[in-house]
Amino acid sequence: MLQVRLNKAQYEYDIHSLVKAFYPTEEVRVDQGDKPEGIDANRGIMYISFEKETTTICLWEAEGVEVAFKEVTADKNDFKRFLYRVLSEHTGKKLPWGNLTGIRPTKLAMAKLEEGFDDEEIAQWLKTEHYVSDEKAVLSIDIAKREKDILSELHYEDGYSLYIGIPFCPTTCLYCSFTSYPYCVWKSRIEDYLNALFYEIECTADMMKGKILDTVYIGGGTPTTLEAEHLDKLLTKIKYNFDLSNVKEFTVEAGRADSITKEKLEVLKKHNVGRISVNPQTMHNKTLRLIGRQHTVEQAEEAFRLAREIGFDNINMDIILGLPGEDTDDVAYTIERIKELAPDNLTVHSLAIKRASKLSQWIRENGYESMNNTEATMTIAAKGAKDMGMEPYYLYRQKNMSGNFENVGYAKEGKNGIYNILIMEEKQTIMALGAGSITKVVYPDGRIERCDNVKDVALYIERIQEMIDRKKELLG
């Protein structure tokens, strides 16, 4: 374990994120305390002392020799630059995203674009202020410009988007930390959940009267875990309560191939759902079994082709890089299989190791080295997307990502996932319904306020009025 000791509480989140990025195999703990005496370097202790105008960072070499760095730090940004340089020098590493610890790096590029800076000025600022690599600076600017164009037609002040969460899955994947519950366990209470959700739909529609609904996204979990009749009831309820005449995008995550049937796809098509996801994550059956997916590669391909036959012309596929045991050859094979299907979107995820997931336990038993996401695998995926006529259109990062990379959405012309951009750029209010969802209200002055629904399904059903009241209070 690597322990970071501070003389006072300050910047703990950023310190933990940066140290963890440089030492991904270590458990990192940040706490307060006095500077230790007589350090044994094997104990892995770093000491940071914040003074009035300066900061001192103490490290210990392998021989137990103390090395101290001191610098003037006027604010958090100064400190993060200082800490990054110290860690980079100490480890000999450079991180692709430099000292950025937030999940939305394109927001920085977007803000600079809106201030009138050109590409070269933004790239230089990202490299100088945050030590972002040339490649990632270009990527973030490219995506920010594309996002700006896509979002230009949305209604920011008088509009909103709608998210509806279905927190059930056939099984829980090894890497997952989202709100999801085994469908087989909750099957007898699905009607109870939907009744609570329908009530929240009615109340939310009433709250948002007079506002323009731009996008609808039904996620999870796996929404298509629901039976066809339940999907039909849900989509009918949405259609009855909300004015969908201005909706530019209606997405349903079909997700898991073992949840997709012809009957369910026909229900989605009947209700004018325009965009769906069929997410294999990998095209290797051995990996699918390892990560807890019950479907096969062949089932994923069959589900995709079935969706095409029914008439869906905007299908996304998700893959994850850095899955246990997979290398560059495995990723290249996955990309080639996907190219044969020719989806309209491809979302490339870098595996994020969440403490709440089963993957954390798997790593403790099998070692971090089994996660093998590299610049080479990211390049393979990016080239595959380009070969399919796609361009990157949105990007986000998560804590503890394999290789310290990013998640990137690629799409063909006119097939961009608008909601995906909105959730990252936080330009528009998103009303979120269902267990574990988080509503974000964006005010005219740019301020953002959130309120979350409880994750536990039983508590969601029991306390639905309380969550509706919180939304009303947030909207004023």
Neighbours of 92 (CB within 10 A): 7
In CATH, what number does 159-465 get? 3.20.20.70
pLDDT of residue 82: 97
- Considering the chain, tell me which residue range(s) the CATH 3.20.20.70 domain(s) occupy: 159-465
Closest CA to 196 of 434, 432, 430: 434
pLDDT of residue 366: 60
- In residues, how long is the chain? 476
pLDDT of residue 351: 83
Within 174-246, strands assigned E span: 181-182, 212-220
Within 98-199, strands assigned E span: 159-166, 168-169, 181-182
pLDDT of residue 292: 79
The architecture in CATH of the region 2-91 reads: 2-Layer Sandwich (3.30)
Closest CA to 190 of 236, 241, 239, 228: 228
CB 442 within 8 A of CB 427: yes
pLDDT of the chain along its 476 residues, tens only?
Answer: 788 999 999 999 999 999 989 988 788 999 998 887 765 555 678 999 999 899 999 988 766 778 899 999 999 999 999 999 999 999 999 999 999 988 899 999 999 999 999 999 999 999 999 999 999 999 999 999 999 999 998 999 899 999 999 998 876 655 555 556 676 777 788 999 999 999 999 999 999 999 999 999 999 889 999 999 999 999 999 999 999 999 999 999 987 898 999 999 999 999 999 999 999 999 999 988 888 777 899 999 999 999 999 999 999 999 999 888 889 999 999 999 999 999 999 999 988 765 555 565 665 666 555 566 788 999 999 999 999 999 999 999 987 776 778 999 999 999 999 999 999 999 999 999 999 999 999 998 889 999 999 999 999 999 999 999 999 999 98
- Considering the chain, tell me which residue range(s) the CATH 3.30.160 domain(s) occupy: 2-91
pLDDT of residue 173: 56
pLDDT of residue 361: 61
Within 167-304, strands assigned E span: 168-169, 181-182, 212-220, 249-255, 275-278
pLDDT of residue 357: 55
pLDDT of residue 244: 98
Pairing of strands 249-255, 438-442: unpaired
